[in-house]
Structure 1
Amino acid sequence: MNTIEQQLWDYIDGNLDDSSKKAIEEKIESNAEIKSQYEDLLKLNLVFDGMDLDEPSMSFNRNVMESIALVPAPVAMKTKVDKKIIYSIGGFFVVSLLAILSYVFYNANLEMPQFDLKVNFDFNLEKYITPTAIYVFLFADLVIGLIFLDQFLRKKVAQK
């Protein structure tokens, strides 16, 4: 569609401002080709106005919904991530941590004015191994064991 045709359609529809409207009216009056095109578009617009719009049948909505229900639901797409990307991200973090650690060691003051090491190897196990500590340890083992059992049984069911 050329620009003059678009301008004529906008003029017919009444979508133009006053200055554009006057400019199109002048073009229509001065140019016979544009005037004939304008008259053709007016006739076409009258034909469009006289047409009745077709309405869908009463069961159209139901038919569409039934046809949609027959289509299988889309499955989530599983994509494979390239290992090079994972290694490069991991390498970046390792290099960053090494840079921070080397900066800390470079700026650290490692002078030890007095190094007096007194180590007592006399451990009192009764102080650390209490009934509460044993119960916490056994509870954590039980939870880990149940998680392992759940995963094991799920794999068996999935294999069948």
Structure 2
Amino acid sequence: MNTIEQQLWEYIDGTLDETTKKTVEEKIMSDPEIKTQYEDLLKLNSVLGTLDLDEPSMSFTRNVMESVSTLPAPVAMKTQVDKKIIYCIGGFFVISLLALFGYVLYHSNISMPKFNVNLNYNLDQYITPTVLYSFLFFDLVIGLVFLDLFLRKRISKH
């Protein structure tokens, strides 16, 4: 549909604003071809207005609902993605990140500072009988707590 025909239809329907309405009226008055087109559209509009609309029968809705109810209900589509595909994609990204990390490490200049650590400790001054007995006591308490938890779980299962 060209623009003048669309404007004529909107003019006939009365949906144009005032400025556009005036320009369309001027075109109708000045151009005989547009005037004949306008008259043809007016005739067509009046013929369409006189047509009787067909109405569905009174039981139309009931018949449609009955036919719909006899059809099987659509099943929801359950799509499953294969886990192998997910693992492959994840593996690809992990390998890519590891390769990138390795590349960065290979091309970087990493040097560790030199520490002068004296490892000659006199352990006899740190490991005294009191420290040894307290360590063994602490281990015994922890062992008894875990034994208690283990026995409570076995009893609760039976």
Q: TM-score range by the shorter chain?
A: 0.5 to 0.7
Tell me: CA distance 1:138–1:60, structure 2 relative to 1, closer, same or farther (3 Å). Answer: farther
Deviation at 1:96, TM superposition (A): 5.8
- For 2:79, what is the secondary structure of its paired residue? coil
Deviation at 1:15, TM superposition (A): 0.9
Between the aligned partners of 2:24 and 2:2, the Cα distance in structure 1 is 14
Query: How do residues 9-28 of structure 1 correspond to structure 2 at under 5 angstroms?
Result: 9-28=9-28
| Deviation digits for residues 106-140 of structure 1 (CA, Å, limit 9, x no counterpart) | 9xxxx899898x8967854433222x65444665x
Tell me: CA distance 1:75–1:137, structure 2 relative to 1, closer, same or farther (3 Å). Answer: farther
- For 1:129, what is the secondary structure of its paired residue? helix
- The number of residue pairs the alignment matches comes to 133
In structure 2, stretches of 5+ residues that fail to align are none
Q: Which has the larger radius of gyration?
A: 2
Between the aligned partners of 1:52 and 1:35, the Cα distance in structure 2 is 28
What is aligned with 2:37? 37
Between the aligned partners of 2:152 and 2:66, the Cα distance in structure 1 is 59
Tell me: CA distance 1:46–1:137, structure 2 relative to 1, closer, same or farther (3 Å). Answer: farther
Between the aligned partners of 1:97 and 1:136, the Cα distance in structure 2 is 43
- For 1:47, what is the secondary structure of its paired residue? helix
Deviation at 1:27, TM superposition (A): 0.9
- Confirm whether residue 129 of structure 1 aligns to residue 130 of structure 2: no
When normalised by structure 2's length, the TM-score is: 0.62
| Deviation digits for residues 48-104 of structure 1 (CA, Å, limit 9, x no counterpart) | 2212222211111111111111221222223353644542235436766996xxx9x
When normalised by structure 1's length, the TM-score is: 0.62
What is aligned with 2:54? 54
Tell me: CA distance 1:48–1:30, structure 2 relative to 1, closer, same or farther (3 Å). Answer: same
